[in-house]
Structure 1
Amino acid sequence: MEKKLLNSPKPKVNVIDSLFAEMVLDTALLKFRKEQIRQKIDQSLTDKNKSEFLRLTEELKNIS
């Protein structure tokens, strides 16, 4: 059985590194989502789907 010591060293989480990683991930996800919407906008233009085009352009404006 494993013994636990009260004052045993615990791994330290570097808060700044954690925040930086979160910012990088958020930025990457936003960039990916914008690209997805742009591709759908292009497709709506190809399909001449005005309502979809308007909906997607509004969505893109809201996340930018």
Structure 2
Amino acid sequence: MGKLITVVLAIAAISGAAYYALNHASSRSSDSGASAPKRQLDNVRGAADRIESDAEQRARDLESKMGDGQ
């Protein structure tokens, strides 16, 4: 019975330490306060906006070129 209690307490201590390390390590690594997934999502949104504006510009350029020939 004593060995079982020791094993259960050891597992609880190890899992508690792992939980603390995983949750507090991520908060120390973010300098600006934004999490890594948030920064990645912001980067994707910015890239999508740039792609969309480039496509609109190319469409306007093509439209003006086609209009000049008529």
User: What range is the shorter-chain TM-score in?
Assistant: 0.5 to 0.7
SS for the counterpart of 2:57 is helix
Which structure has more helix as a fraction of its residues? 2
Residue type at the aligned position of 2:52: K
Q: State the identity %.
A: 8
The higher-RCO structure (CA 8 Å, 6+ apart) is: 1
Q: Does 1:30 align with 2:14?
A: no
Cα distance per residue 1:9-34 (max 9 Å; x no partner): 76544100000000000001100000
Larger C-alpha radius of gyration, 1 or 2? 2
Q: What is the TM-score normalised by the length of structure 1? A: 0.55
Equivalenced residue count is: 40
Gaps spanning 5+ residues in structure 1: where? 1-8, 49-64
Gaps spanning 5+ residues in structure 2: where? 1-27
